[in-house]
Each structure stands twice: as C-alpha cells, then as structure tokens.
C-alpha cells in the first residue's frame, strides 16, 4: 500500500520505502550536512550498497583525457563502427565518480549492446565552474575522434546524464545543435536533471527535509560549484533559462516526485516540446532523487533503466 510521506506530503512507493526508512533510521542527515570529504565517501558506499550489480562485459578500460578520466564499457566482442552512449554522473558537481555509477553504466551497455563512455569530470570545490562543463565538452570531441586511444569508430551518440550530469548533457546538446559543424548526437536522456540553478521552482519549497537530497542540498552544491557573483541563468549553468534551439535530438526526461528538482525537470520537458523537440516525458510518483543509484534495491529503478535502454536502442538502430 502506498503511504503519504510526512515530510513531502507525497506518496512513497512500497518498493522505495525500505531504502528511505534505512536512511531515516540512520539519522536522516541530507548530503549537505557533511563535510565534502565525508559526503563523497558516504555517496560511494551508498551507491555500492544500493546500486545495480556489475554486469560482466567484454571490455572495460580507463583512459586519461587531459585532467580527467573516462571509462569505456564495451559489451561487443569485436570492434566496428558503432553508435555510443556518453554518460555524465550526478552528485551536484561535488561528489560522484566512475565507481558510483559503474553498475548503471554496465547495465546500459549490456542492454543496448553499445559502448558506454562514462566521464569522470573534475569536481568542485577543488575545480569550480566551468571545469565540469569544460571537461564534458572535451569528452564529446574525444569520443568522436577516430584517432583516439579508445579504439572506437563512433558514428553517432546518445547523451545520458543524471541530476548534475543531466545538466551537463543538456548543455552539450544545446550547444551542439547551434554549432557550425554539429556532431551526430541522436538523442539525450535526462534523469531528474538539475537544469535551473536559479532554484525558483515551487518544488524547492516542498522537499526540504527527510530525504538525502533536499532544497538546501542543491544550494550547497551550487555554492561549491559556482563562483560568487556568477550569473546563474547563464545557458551553460541553467539550460532551462536558455532560448532552446531548433534541431535538438529526441529527448527522454524522467522526474521523480519527492525531489526538489521535479518542477524544473517537468518545465524543461515542456520547453523542449515548445522548441519543436521530440520529447518523451515520464514522471514517477512515489520515488525520490537517487532512484537510479538505488536501482539494485528499488525494482522500479531497474525497470526504468530498461526503458532508458529501449529509448537508446530505438535511436541507434
């Protein structure tokens, strides 16, 4: 039976209740209540405990690209020209790594039978804006460079990002659509994306306690990532505030209800549609931010990863 949560006033799905109860039983402290070093460690351990198991693949290799790393998950037994998935992890630009989203990337590679390339962009506060987006821009060009060490001949790409990674994917897609010589980006998947750092949507006033990620957590992330005085409505910070171009690739946007980001995700899906983009929008009531890094414990998360893989397959056949 679905119950109404005492903090958000929204439902909590039965298959999500156990993970949430464990969080609250352990003290219920949101991410921003810890020092940076400790919250990174807690995020690593939480993703390891709750994430998808690591599907075996033919090849998993790490590569250095300037000041950051990427990991190439290749499920194929032989190399050939191929579409690929470029993945950007979440964590508010402050936490997250190749390991936190390893199970998710492995599952996407396994389900799509495509190489998945995860970007381990530099984190704030050591590397504030624009480091993460600069690394992401470099990564997409590295991916398409046939002479690079990854050994892939990439014909087209789908961009996938969760939370802050969704912001990075959205920014790249928008910039690519207006480029003089655009790269063949054929889709984007935005998993509860963080696309409006003005933090002005009503859901920030609703999700303020009782979850790992609440409104003050977003403010804490932004305070570490963004230098003082920066324009938070800039298009490479808040893509939801940008004038969206024509020619954006088909986009799959997923939001969850117990999330301060839910309204901006829904609004962004609508803005994409108004710009003429083919949009698949899915809202999941009863679930909270972190569903995809808890998909090993929450069946709906794992099922939705299957749907994401189907979206990618449909656009790369």
Give Cα 273 to chain centroid, integer Å: 20
Q: Looking up tokens 């655009």, which residue turns up?
A: 182
Contacts of 100 (CB under 8 A, 6+ apart): 43, 44, 47, 48, 51, 89, 91, 293
The DSSP annotation for 137-168 comes to HHHHHHHH-TTSTT--EEEEEEEEEETHHHHH
For 298, left (φ over 0), alpha (ψ -120 to 50), or beta?
beta
Distance CA 205, CA 192 (A): 17
Distance CA 189, CA 311 (A): 9
Q: Which helix (H) or strand (E) holds 119?
A: strand 116-120
DSSP letter at 151?
-
**Catalytic residue among 203, 259, 263, 294, which?**
259
Contacts of 74 (CB under 8 A, 6+ apart): 57, 58, 59, 60, 61, 109, 115, 152
Helix axes 299-314, 14-25, angle to 10 degrees: 120
Answer yes or no: are the C-beta atoms of 2 and 286 closer than 8 Å: yes
- By the 10 Å C-beta count (0-12 exposed, 13-18 middle, 19+ buried), 216 is classed as middle
Q: Is 259 annotated as catalytic?
A: yes
**Catalytic residue among 163, 203, 238, 294, which?**
163
| Count of CB atoms situated within 10 Å of the CB of 317 | 5
The DSSP annotation for 222-246 comes to HHHHSPTT--TTSTTT-GGGS-PPT
Q: Is 163 annotated as catalytic?
A: yes
Q: Is 32 annotated as catalytic?
A: no
Q: Which two tokens stand for residue 9?
A: 């006033």
Report the catalytic residues: 163, 259, 289
């Amino acid at each position: 039976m679905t119950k109404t949560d005492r903090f958000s006033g929204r439902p909590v799905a039965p298959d999500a209740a156990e993970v949430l109860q464990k969080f609250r039983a352990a003290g219920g402290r949101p991410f921003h209540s810890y020092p940076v070093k400790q919250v990174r460690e807690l995020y690593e351990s939480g993703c390891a405990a709750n994430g998808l198991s690591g599907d075996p693949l033919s090849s998993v290799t790490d590569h250095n690209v300037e000041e950051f790393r990427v990991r190439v998950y290749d499920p194929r037994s032989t190399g050939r020209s191929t579409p690929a998935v470029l993945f950007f992890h979440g964590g508010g630009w402050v936490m997250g790594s190749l390991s936190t989203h390893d199970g998710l990337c492995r599952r996407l590679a396994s389900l799509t039978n495509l190489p998945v390339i995860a970007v381990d962009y530099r984190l704030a506060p050591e590397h504030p804006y624009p480091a993460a987006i600069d690394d992401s821009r470099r990564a997409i060009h590295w991916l398409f460079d046939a002479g690079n060490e990854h050994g892939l001949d990439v014909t087209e790409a789908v961009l996938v990002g969760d939370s802050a990674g969704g912001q990075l994917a959205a920014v790249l897609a928008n910039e690519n659509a207006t480029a003089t010589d655009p790269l063949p980006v054929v889709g984007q998947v935005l998993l509860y994306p963080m696309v409006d750092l003005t933090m002005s949507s009503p859901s920030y006033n609703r999700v303020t306690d009782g979850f790992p990620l609440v409104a003050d957590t977003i403010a804490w992330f932004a305070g570490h990532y963004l230098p003082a005085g920066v324009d938070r409505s800039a298009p490479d910070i808040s893509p939801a505030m940008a004038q969206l171009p024509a020619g954006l690739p088909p986009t799959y946007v997923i939001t969850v209800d117990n999330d301060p980001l839910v309204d901006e995700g829904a609004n962004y899906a609508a803005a994409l549609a108004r710009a003429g983009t083919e949009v698949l929008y899915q809202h999941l009531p009863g679930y909270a931010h972190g569903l995809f890094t808890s998909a090993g414990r929450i069946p709906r998360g794992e099922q939705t990863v299957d749907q994401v893989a189907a979206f990618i397959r449909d656009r790369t056949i």
